[in-house]
Amino acid sequence: MTVSRALRDPDKVSAKTLTKIREVVDRLGYVPDPAASALAAGKTNVIGVIVPSVTNNVFSDVMRGIYEAAEGSKWQIQLGNSRYSPLEEESLVRTFLSQRPAGLVLSGLDQSEDTARLLERADCRIVQIMECGPAPYDMMVGFSHVEASAAATRHLLAAGYRRPGYIAARLDPRSQRRLAGFRGEAEKAGVFDAGRIVTTPRPSTVTLGCELVADLLSKAPETDAILCNNDDLALGALFECQRRGIRVPDQMGICGFNDLEMMAAANPPITSVRTFRLAMGRDAFRMLTGALAGIEPEQPVVDLGYEVVARGSTARNGQG
């Protein structure tokens, strides 16, 4: 029928026929069958998104950015949860690809070899998010975790702290790079001490932040500042210090990562590294759908940067 044309490319149909078709469509409550469309066209309007976690605030902000950008468009977002497992990610990529998606959004740079092979052969557009790196499969939008945490470290040093420690949970690749950023900068300043690094494979929570600080202080009581791998840990660190009567920021500086909303509300407000998660989701969607519409991005890799937001938790009065 001409109906198919009318619905997808109204310009190619005369105005008269168009109105007639629309009238009938309304009356019958006709809705196109996406399965039939997918089968005939050999492609879909599905954009697959794979994130390591659906509960982590960081990724839910990114997801929100994607969903908001997709709102009202013809694109269907399909979300996969890899639970930080490269194997689950691979399985999700396989499932998604079998659906002939128009595009795929992946997190990070550290796909398994098999996944990488699948992606290189895939005939859909791909955006990697969360990080910036040298060799995108296709496109990329994120920031440098190494640089961001190096900047946070410099902030601590500039505030006068001299015996900084680091706490981290679930050492996924991005966490590791943040730790590396801290280490590099601390070594450069001659204040690095591996004894002031405490990590655990457990997923990060506020409670875990308390525990890691307890650990850190028992091993290295001289610690005068803590760079936390994320904001949950930072909040826990603040609570634990307060419970122990350790004055923040005077006796102990605390810095988080991501700058979740609650950081500014804490007492004292907690210094953190702001990242642009909503924008990341939105931009990833726009790059992808733009490319699908034939508009190639000016740069395949977009660096959204970061921003150290200094607050009370590192506003030291005296000096170290």
Partner DNA sequence: TTGTATGCGTTATCAA
Partner DNA sequence: TTGATAACGCATACAA
Binding site for DNA (CB under 7 A): 1-2, 4-5, 7-8, 11-14, 16-18, 30-33, 36-37, 39-42
- 3-state DSSP assignment of residue 106: strand
Question: Which of 3, 38, 116, 304 touches a second copy (CB under 8 A)?
Answer: 38
Distances (CA, A) of 240 to 95, 171, 210, 262, 270: 44, 22, 5, 17, 14
Six-digit token string for 128: 């990697």
Contacts of 187 (CB under 8 A, 6+ apart): none
Among a second copy, DNA, none, partner that 117 touches (CB below 5 to 8 angstroms by kind): none
Phi-psi region of 203 (alpha: psi -120 to 50; beta: other; left: phi over 0): beta
Among DNA, a second copy, none, partner that 94 touches (CB below 5 to 8 angstroms by kind): a second copy
Six-digit token string for 6: 């009318």
Does 35 bind a second copy (CB under 8 A)? Our answer is yes
CB 180 within 8 A of CB 146: yes
Among a second copy, DNA, none, partner that 17 touches (CB below 5 to 8 angstroms by kind): DNA
Site stretch for a second copy (CB under 8 A), options 5-13, 122-130, 152-160, 203-211: 203-211
Does 34 bind a second copy (CB under 8 A)? Our answer is yes
Question: Which of 8, 188, 219, 243 touches a second copy (CB under 8 A)?
Answer: 243
The residues facing 178 across adjacent strands are: none
Does 205 bind a second copy (CB under 8 A)? Our answer is yes
> Residues 223, 56, 63, CA angle at the centre, nearest 5°?
135
> Which spans of this chain sit near a second copy (rule: CB under 8 A)?
31-36, 38-39, 44, 54-55, 57, 60-61, 63-64, 67-68, 71, 76-79, 81, 83, 88, 94-95, 98-100, 205-207, 209-210, 232, 235-236, 239, 242-243, 261-262, 264-267
